[in-house]
Structure 1
Amino acid sequence: MTRNNLIILAAGGSLALLLGAFAFQYLGGMAPCKLCIWQRWPHGVAVAAGLLALMMRGKFWPLVGMLGAATTGAIGIYHTGVERRWWEGPTSCTSSGTSGMSADDLLEQIMAAPLIRCDEVPWELFTLSMATWNAIISFGLAAIWLMAWKRS
């Protein structure tokens, strides 16, 4: 494949993942959590890098696209760990338990809790959550970006 074909494939993959996320949100009624939103931004960077890489020669923009895809993959791994309770997520979107809390502190935690929690899996396919699928596909896209970078 040529450099431009690889760039179109990689940037198009990020665009497809973004469109899929928006479809789940707006057509499927599944509001995103904070970590879901964090995973979207690097895809946007990868799409923009793809457009710029097609207009300009050089290795910079494919590298930016690769870093964007790898970043969203890393956030996806982190989000998967939060969903599977391997580690704690951001306190603003996960449950931290109630032991040792006063009634006032518990009420404050409930009132400050977001509507969408990061440590719940709203959808999965073959036992893998959207965050996990995003990580797998995004690391694949990063590999495609790497091939485009090498051909620049």
Structure 2
Amino acid sequence: MTSIASPAGRLQTLTALFLTVAMAAVVGTALGFEHIGGYIPCKLCLEQRIPYYAGVPLMALAALSSTLHWPAWVTRGLLVVGGLLMAWGLFLGVKHAGVEWGWWAGPTDCGAVAAPVDTGGKGVLDALNTFVPPACDTAALRVLGLSFAGWNVIASLALAAIAFRGAFGKG
């Protein structure tokens, strides 16, 4: 394993570029399911996006620092931060998936998210009567047995491993 002070190289550049695109794709998919698919995120769903919102610009900065040959510790340090953010995302995904499977209780204020703005041609009061807020303990959709939170666990784990490999790998 290489230290964080070792020179940054092609591996770090490619890792940072990949992570920038991959993190943007993951959170973009979540936003697509929300805005195009109509899936309203719960409180825990929204929390799981935070590591990606922070990670995308940081990984873009890591790619820039590697491309511009800034000190290697900057690029490698940013990749470590990206790995830690994805580890946090992994924790948040496991926490939410556990709530969905009934392994532990979720937050009591989970349904406290904004209602959709589109009233579907109805009046505001009619739309409020038909709006069902999301619940943290119910998966909105399962694909191959995994909820959105479950897929986030897999994505976060893979991206964390890639970030740490890029941070400590020989460039």
TM-score > 0.5, shorter chain as reference:
yes
**Could you tell which deviates more after superposition, 14-23 or 57-66?**
57-66
Unaligned runs of 5+ residues in structure 2 are: 1-9, 66-71, 112-131
* Structure 1 partner of 2:32: 23
Which amino acid letter does the alignment assign opposite residue 9 of structure 1?
F
Does the CA-based 8 Å contact 1:14-1:69 persist in structure 2? no
Aligned pair 1:76/2:93, yes or no?
yes
Aligned with 1:141 (options 148, 151, 159): 159
Between Structure 1 and Structure 2, how many residues are aligned? 133
In the alignment, residue 116 of structure 1 is paired with which amino acid? P
The one of 32, 51, 56 equivalent to 1:47 is 56
How far apart, CA to CA, are the structure 2 residues paired with 1:83 and 1:121? 6
Aligned-residue identity in percent: 33
Superposed displacement of residue 55, structure 1: 2.0
TM-score by length of 1: 0.82
Equivalent pair of 1:33/1:93 in contact (CA under 8 Å): yes
Q: Aligned partner of 2:154: which letter?
A: I
1:9 partnered with 2:26: no
1:60-139 matches, within 5 Å, as 60-93=77-110, 115-139=133-157
Alpha carbons 1:69, 1:141 under 8 Å: kept: yes
Distance in 2, Cα, partners of 1:22 & 1:11: 16
Distance 1:64 1:85 in 2: 31
Q: Does structure 2 conserve the Cα–Cα contact (< 8 Å) formed by 1:65 and 1:145?
A: yes
Tell me the distance in 2 between the aligned counterparts of 1:142 and 1:11: 12
Matched letter for residue 90 of structure 1: P
Q: CA RMSD in A?
A: 1.6
Superposition TM-score, scaled by structure 2 size: 0.73
Which residue number in structure 2 is paired with residue 35 of structure 1? 44
Task: Give per-residue Cα distances to partners, 1:14-37, cap 9 Å, x unaligned.
Answer: 111110000000000001000000
Amino acid aligned to 1:143: A
Q: Is the 8 A contact 1:83 1:120 kept in 2?
A: yes
What amino acid maps onto 2:45 in structure 1? C
